Amino acid sequence: MLLIERILLVISYLVTMGNRTSFKKGNSARFIHGEARPGHQSRLYSIWVGMNDRVKNPNSKSYKYYGGRGISVCEEWESSINFILWAKNNGYSDNLVIDRIDVNGDYCPENCRFVTPHESVLNRRNRNDYGVYASGNKFYVVIRRNGKIIKGGYFNNKKDALLKRDEIVGDYLIMNFDEFSNKYDFNDNR
C-alpha cells in the first residue's frame, strides 16, 4: 500500500469519526474503523475476523483445516484496515467471498481474490467428483455455472473426466466470456 493511500485513509477516518478513535466494550478498547454502524461489524471486517480465527485460534472448529495445516495470514493483513483497503481495490462486493487461489497457500494479496460462493466451492481440496458422472462404463463432465450448463464430453475413465472438469473450471475462472464460449459447448438452463 502506498504511503499516500495510508495517509488518505487516516485522514478520512479522522474526519468521519471526529475525536472518537476507540470505544470500550468489556475490558478491551477497540478501534472504530468507520465501516459499519455503531455496535455492528461490517461484512469486510467480519471476513477479516473469520480469516484470522481460522488460522490463529486452535479452539475454532475450522482451525484444523487452516492454521492446523500451516496456513497463516500475511503480516500486511494483521491490520484490518490494510485488509479492507486491499479488498475494496480488488473486486470486493457484498455477494462475493474471499477465496485462496492456492488452497494450500496463505491468506495474502498474491493468493486471494473475491469470487461467488459457488466458485469458492469449486476451489477446495476435497471437491472429489463434482461435475463428473458415470453413464454405463463411461464418465461424462457437466458443469453448471451461473444458469448455464457446460458440457465437457464423455471419457473412458474417471481420471480423464476429472482432468477435463478441472480444465473447464480453471478456464471459467480466468477466461473472458467470449473466449470461454468459443472453447466450450454450453446451454442456457433457464
The DSSP output letter for 101 is: S
CB half-sphere exposure, 7, CA atoms < 13 A = 3
Which pTM value belongs to this model?
Answer: 0.53
CA distance 168 to 122: 11
Alpha-carbon distance 37 to 92, whole Å? 19
Please state which of the ranges 26-30, 54-58, 78-82, 103-107 shows the lowest mean pLDDT: 26-30
Strand partners, 151: 142, 185
> 125-147: per-residue pLDDT in tens?
655 667 888 888 999 998 877 67
pLDDT given at position 28 = 42
Q: 103 and 120 in contact (C-beta within 8 Å)? A: no
CA dist., res. 46 & res. 15, Å (int)? 24
Q: Are 43 and 94 in contact (CB under 8 A)?
A: yes
Q: Which amino acid is at 14?
A: L
Q: Report the pLDDT value the prediction gives residue 20, as an integer from 0 to 100.
A: 40
Hey, where are the domains in the chain? 40-125, 132-188
- Return the amino acid letter for 17: M
In angstroms, the CA 44 to CA 92 distance is: 9
